[in-house]
Amino acid sequence: MATSDDLEVSAYLEIAEGRASEAENEPQSVNEGIIVIDFGSQYSHLIARRIRDLKVYSEVFTASSTWETVRHINPKGVILSGGPASVYDPGAPRIPDWVFERDLPVLGICYGMQALVHQLGGEVIPGQAQEYGSAVLHQDGGEASLFTELPPTFQVWMSHGDRIATLPPGFSSLAYTENSPVAALGNGKGIFGLQFHPEVNHTPLGQSILENFLMRACDCRGSWTPGHFVSDSIKRIQEQVGDGRVICALSGGVDSAVTAMLLHKAIGDQLTCIFVNNGLLRLEEPERVQDTFKRNMGLNLVYADASERFLTELAGVIDPEQKRKVIGEEFIRVFEEAASGLGQTDFLAQGTLYPDVIESETPENRASARIKTHHNVGGLPENMKLKLVEPLRYLFKDEVRQVGLELGLPEEMVYRQPFPGPGLAIRIIGEVTLERCDMLRACDWIVIDEIKAAGLYQQIWQSFAVLTDNRTVGVMGDYRTYGYVCAIRAVSSEDAMTADWVRLPYEVLARMSNRIVNEVPGVTRVVYDITSKPPGTIEWE
Ligand code: XMP
């Protein structure tokens, strides 16, 4: 899913991607890779992720992929994902022929195992009892390299209807559960099937099973590291860009920061970054970004201070969606003006991540209801005709962070909490004015300062202040006050799709509240938001 801190960059994708040829987005070459064939499981990308955690490169491909489209990752093995189909459904996805022709080790999971059985001459039938949730697996002998060093019985996570009635020739059963007489199978020649899901946390020993498959069946070495990624990417960027010129919109978020640093290492002065100050950034953010990139890292950085322009455009706007639209359009104008002063430009670098790619390639996975626009720019102006450079296109967020550290970016930037593209505008309820921005900046600074002092910053998904448009009566000294209510929000989340409010220690909340009412003129009351998502959202607007 698209996390927020670089959406102002990745939103360009919608228009720019149409212009980029497949060749420009070719994945990196690696010395050993595992192919995950996606049969439509919600866990396919999780499998790839688990494999990478074992230091082996992995990528998800569709069932219609040809050998030519997968060979560049130097496949050492194939994992077939689960999926919603039954092998007897008309048009049910099939394992591509090249999987067997290439003699690669194969691990079929759930539907992947049923497809193996079906295509290799066994029989799959509808199960009498569907099996969802936890089950106890019993090993029952056979070629069990997959289960090396695992106990004879252990807990697994099942989610299937069909079951195996007849094994294909040459296969034997490796394990059973109460409802699945064949819960694992193998042919002694590197082809395995599992009826359960080793990739999910509810199969506690699942990672050991995947590790056995990689290291024993596929003979992987496990050498994929951020360092390899960096040197590979540098080579690829140099090949793609040649002596062309590249621009990159820097937001201060980790994705665009890592993208810019990789490009800087690869092509030096051929890269120019544009950093737009929309006046809606947090305290000291514009200075921090310029310090890090221009002064410390030596990047070509164009700083476009458009704060006044944005605030002028936002005057009188109170509707959240309208705020996003105004900010998005103004961003494009400012960015285009800054870029047009740079002369000939050939490429646009973006911090698109793997979850964005997965999401955009399987539209059926997208949440259907639009809750918020989540974009702050409408798209790149048509006349710019730029080709895309997306060096992070095959990485997950935490891998990007590892690469960031490898590239020498400061920890505080690498582990920065997500910050929305429209910035403070969607945390100021009602009209956005300079005075209210400054008020919120001061509150926000205190919240983050106290969260950091309590050692909680990296454990929390997002923590911030919101300036409401409510005013309440208070008393300070002998005077009546009448000022704004500031709300504090701190949430834990895996991916921003769902979130829970963080049970912050009372002392931390007390310090924040005390400091805010004392240090921020105009704010006289502080509340803590204890709403989860759903039903709330993370941001207030
Ligand atoms: P919500 O408020 O929908 O937010 O729970 C989920 C995540 O998205 C971020 N967010 C945005 N990011 N432009 C962005 O770049 C936006 O318009 C936007 N709205 C919300 C939010 O900070 C959270 O991480």
Strand partners, 173: 185
Q: Any idea of the CA torsion for 196, 198, 200, 206, to the nearest 10 degrees?
A: 130
The helix/strand/coil state of 284 is: coil
**What is the best residue among 251, 280, 372, 464 to mutate for testing ligand 1's pocket, by most ligand atoms within 8 Å of CB?**
372
> Ligand 1 center to residue 539 CA distance, Å?
6
- The residue type at 38: D
Tally the C-alpha atoms within 13 A of residue 242's C-alpha that lie toward its C-beta: 5
Strand partners, 275: 250, 303
The pLDDT of residue 129 is: 66
Strand partners, 135: 156
Rounded to 10 deg, the angle between the 44-53 and 354-361 helix axes is: 160
Residue whose CA is at the smallest distance from ligand 1 atom 4: 538
Question: CA 106 to CA 444: how far, in whole Å?
Answer: 51
The helix (run of H) or strand (run of E) holding residue 143 is none
The pLDDT of residue 359 is: 63
Edge-to-edge, what's the strand order for the sheet holding 246-250? Answer: 300-305, 271-277, 246-250, 347-349, 387-389
Question: CA 422 to CA 445: how far, in whole Å?
Answer: 18
**Do 501 and 536 contact (CB within 8 A), yes or no?**
no
Q: What is the DSSP letter of 383?
A: G
What phi-psi label fits residue 252: left (phi over 0), alpha (psi between -120 and 50 degrees) or beta?
Answer: left
Candidate list 45, 59, 110, 375, residue with the active-site label = 110
Q: Is beta strand 479-492 parallel, antiparallel or unpaired with respect to 500-501?
A: antiparallel
Known catalytic residue at 199:
yes
| Mean pLDDT, the chain, integer | 88
Q: Which residues lie with the beta carbon below 6 Å from any ligand 1 atom? A: 4, 7, 324, 371-374, 376, 418, 420-422, 462, 496, 533, 537-539
For the stretch 361-389, pLDDT in tens is: 543 333 334 455 444 333 445 556 789 99
The pLDDT of residue 46 is: 87
**Do 425 and 468 contact (CB within 8 A), yes or no?**
no
Q: Which ligand 1 atom is the nearest neighbour of the CA of 419?
A: 22
Rounded to 10 deg, the angle between the 397-406 and 254-267 helix axes is: 50
* Cα end-to-end span (Å), the chain: 19
Taking the whole predicted model, whether its pTM rises above 0.85 is answered as no
Q: Please, what sign has the CA dihedral across residues 334, 338, 343, 349?
A: negative
Would you give per-residue pLDDT tens digits along the chain (541 residues)? Answer: 334 444 333 333 222 333 333 334 444 557 899 999 999 988 888 899 899 999 999 999 999 999 999 999 999 999 999 998 999 999 999 999 999 999 999 999 999 999 999 999 999 998 666 777 889 999 987 667 899 999 999 999 988 778 899 999 999 999 999 888 899 999 999 999 999 999 998 899 999 999 999 999 999 999 888 888 899 899 999 999 999 999 999 998 999 999 999 999 999 999 999 999 999 999 999 999 999 999 888 999 999 999 999 999 999 999 999 999 999 999 999 999 999 999 999 999 999 887 777 666 543 333 334 455 444 333 445 556 789 999 998 888 888 999 999 999 999 899 999 999 999 999 999 999 999 999 999 999 999 999 999 999 999 999 999 999 999 999 988 899 999 999 999 999 987 888 999 999 999 999 999 999 999 999 999 999 999 999 999 999 9
The pLDDT of residue 36 is: 97
The pLDDT of residue 144 is: 73
The pLDDT of residue 334 is: 95
> Ligand 1 center to residue 496 CA distance, Å?
8
Question: CA 305 to CA 26: how far, in whole Å?
Answer: 35
Residue owning tokens 């002028």: 312
The pLDDT of residue 353 is: 87
**What is the best residue among 3, 4, 322 to mutate for testing ligand 1's pocket, by most ligand atoms within 8 Å of CB?**
4
